Structure 1
Amino acid sequence: MYMWKVYHNAFEFSTERFPFPAVENQQRGYKQFVRFAKSVGILFSYQKLLKYDHLSMMDRLVLFLAEYLGTAILVFLGCAGCVKYREGSGPGSLEVAFAFGFAIIIAVQTVGHISGAHINPVITLAALIMGVTPLIQVPLYLGGQFLGSLTGYGLLKTLVPQEYIKRSQDNVSLCSPEPNPKLQDAQIVFMEFLLTFFLVLIVCSAWDNRNSTKLDSLAIKLGLAVAGLALVGVSICHHICCNLKIV
Structure 2
Amino acid sequence: MHSSVRHAVKCFFAEILGTGLLVFLGCMGCSSTVNSITSPLQASINVSLVVMMIVQSFGCISGAHINPMITLAACVYDLVSIPLGLVYVCAQVLGATLGYGLLKVLLPAYIMDVAYNDHGFCVTVPAKDITVAQAFGIEFIITSVFVMVCCGIWDPRSANLIDSVALRLGLTVGGLVGIARLLDAGPATHNAAVLAHC
TM-score scaled by structure 1? 0.72
Check whether the contact 1:166–1:174 (CA below 8 A) recurs between aligned residues: yes
CA distance in 1, matches of 2:25, 2:134: 28
- What secondary structure is seen at the aligned counterpart in 2 of 1:217? helix
Matched, 1:85 2:33: yes
- When the two chains are superposed, the root-mean-square deviation of aligned CA atoms in Å is 1.9
- Determine the structure 2 residue equivalent to 1:125: 72
Matched, 1:182 2:132: no
Identical-residue share of aligned pairs (%): 35
Q: Which structure's residues are more often helix, by fraction?
A: 2
CA distance in 2, matches of 1:85, 1:64: 34
Deviation at 1:240, TM superposition (A): 4.7
Matched, 1:142 2:93: no
CA distance in 2, matches of 1:111, 1:94: 26
Alignment CA distance shift 1:57-1:140 (3 Å): same
- Consecutive unaligned residues of structure 2, counting only runs of 5 or more, are 191-198
Check whether the contact 1:80–1:156 (CA below 8 A) recurs between aligned residues: yes
Higher mean C-alpha deviation, range 167-176 or range 74-83:
167-176
Deviation at 1:186, TM superposition (A): 1.4
Segments of 4+ moved more than 6 angstroms: none
CA distance in 1, matches of 2:132, 2:99: 28
Matched, 1:112 2:76: no
Deviation at 1:169, TM superposition (A): 5.5
CA distance in 2, matches of 1:215, 1:81: 27
CA distance in 2, matches of 1:93, 1:228: 10
CA distances 1:215-237 after superposition (whole Å, capped 9, x unpaired): 212111110110011111112x1
Kindly report which structure 2 residues correspond to 1:4-83, keeping only aligned pairs within 5 A, or say none: 55-83=3-31
- What secondary structure is seen at the aligned counterpart in 2 of 1:168? helix
Deviation at 1:213, TM superposition (A): 1.3
Check whether the contact 1:175–1:243 (CA below 8 A) recurs between aligned residues: no
- Consecutive unaligned residues of structure 1, counting only runs of 5 or more, are 1-53
2:49 to 73, 80, 102: 102
Check whether the contact 2:49–2:170 (CA below 8 A) recurs between aligned residues: yes
Give 1 or 2 for the bigger CA radius of gyration. 1
1:239 to 168, 185, 194: 185
Deviation at 1:114, TM superposition (A): 0.5
- What secondary structure is seen at the aligned counterpart in 2 of 1:215? helix
How many residues in Structure 1 have an aligned counterpart in Structure 2?
189
CA distances 1:189-224 after superposition (whole Å, capped 9, x unpaired): 100000000000000001100111122121111101
CA distance in 2, matches of 1:164, 1:218: 34
Q: Given residue 141 of structure 2, which amino acid in structure 1 is its aligned partner? A: L
